[in-house]
Amino acid sequence: MAARETSESALLVAAEAPRSDVGLGRARLDEVTRRFLGVDIGESIEIIGGRSTVATALEAPKEDEGMKAIRIDGLVRQNAKVALGGNVTVRRADVRAAQEIVFAFVIKRGHKMSFGQGIENFVKRGLLKRPLIKGDTVIVPGIALLGAALPLTAIRTKPDGIVRILNETEITLREEPFYEIDGLTSDELYRAFVDRLAERLSETVEEFERRIDGMEGHAGEKARLLARRVRDLLKDLQRE
């Protein structure tokens, strides 16, 4: 997904956030950009790099004025799939109240953990009023494993899209965690496998279509119909 600027969005460069913002889902914008986007301090913005994520807009340092920068921490950059110095498209976010969110903890393979009673309410209090999108990874203050912050990934939201956690939001913790392998979760590895599989099968279908171009009659039509159906199945596989 290529970052670009439109009449309702701004093309900005990802810069490092201050330490006070780490893990809190914040994004610092200068006054010029906030006015251009029609966003006030404390409102939500959508940040689009390799994927979309959401953060809360705050004031940038004076020296950032006119620099077309957005200061976001490593977790927000990870959620947006953008590196420091990379371009992101930023726009005002359309946020709806979350009715339900299902989270899963992200842990390294070989580690084990168990949930204490009331953990869902603890997560809700720690993330209250935070906006997020399905697939975002967040950190809840006070939840740690072996002295390090223990991230959670939102694996389902109701409704879909950008949502905000409220007192009324039902929070569920999936018992099975995501396992992190070489910086990737098990679900990310599965997604990468599916993408590679679809790519290889797509190449096979293209070769098949080239071979049947010269076929005529009933057999040729059947072969072309089969190729179209396989291509549709590949598209469905990549959307899952």
Last residue of a domain, one of 70, 92, 114: 92
Instruction: Specify the number of domains making up the chain.
Output: 3
Q: What percent of the chain has pLDDT over 90?
A: 55
pLDDT digits (tens, 9 = 90+) for 1-24: 456 555 689 999 999 999 999 999
**Residue 94 has which token pair?**
């359309």
pLDDT (0 to 100) of residue 133: 97
pLDDT grade for 213, boundaries at 50, 70 and 90 = low
Indicate whether 108 and 82 sit together in one domain. Answer: no
In a domain, 78, yes or no: yes
Indicate whether 60 and 33 sit together in one domain. Answer: yes
In a domain, 3, yes or no: no
Indicate whether 149 and 203 sit together in one domain. Answer: no
In a domain, 1, yes or no: no
Indicate whether 100 and 176 sit together in one domain. Answer: yes
pLDDT of 140 > 60? The answer is yes
Indicate whether 21 and 75 sit together in one domain. Answer: yes
Indicate whether 28 and 74 sit together in one domain. Answer: yes
pLDDT (0 to 100) of residue 57: 97
Which of 16-30, 73-87, 133-147, 202-216 has the least mean pLDDT?
Answer: 202-216
Query: What is the number of residues in the chain?
Result: 240
In a domain, 232, yes or no: yes
pLDDT grade for 150, boundaries at 50, 70 and 90 = confident
pLDDT (0 to 100) of residue 132: 96
Last residue of a domain, one of 45, 74, 92: 92
pLDDT of 232 > 80? The answer is no
In a domain, 202, yes or no: yes
Across the strands, what pairs with 184? Answer: 181
What is the CB neighbour count within 10 angstroms for residue 147? 5
Residue 42 to residue 29: CA distance in whole angstroms? 11
What is the CB neighbour count within 10 angstroms for residue 212? 16
Which of 71-75, 82-86, 109-113 has the least mean pLDDT?
Answer: 109-113
Which residues constitute the domain of residue 202? Answer: 187-239
Q: What is the mean pLDDT of residues 41-50?
A: 96
pLDDT (0 to 100) of residue 118: 83
Is 203 or 51 the better-scoring residue by pLDDT? 51
Indicate whether 200 and 150 sit together in one domain. Answer: no
Last residue of a domain, one of 41, 72, 92: 92
In a domain, 2, yes or no: no
In a domain, 4, yes or no: no
Indicate whether 197 and 176 sit together in one domain. Answer: no
Look up the CATH number of the domain holding residue 106.
3.10.330.10
Average pLDDT, the chain: 82
In a domain, 107, yes or no: yes
Q: Which of 35, 3, 44, 27 is nearest to 164 (CA)?
A: 44
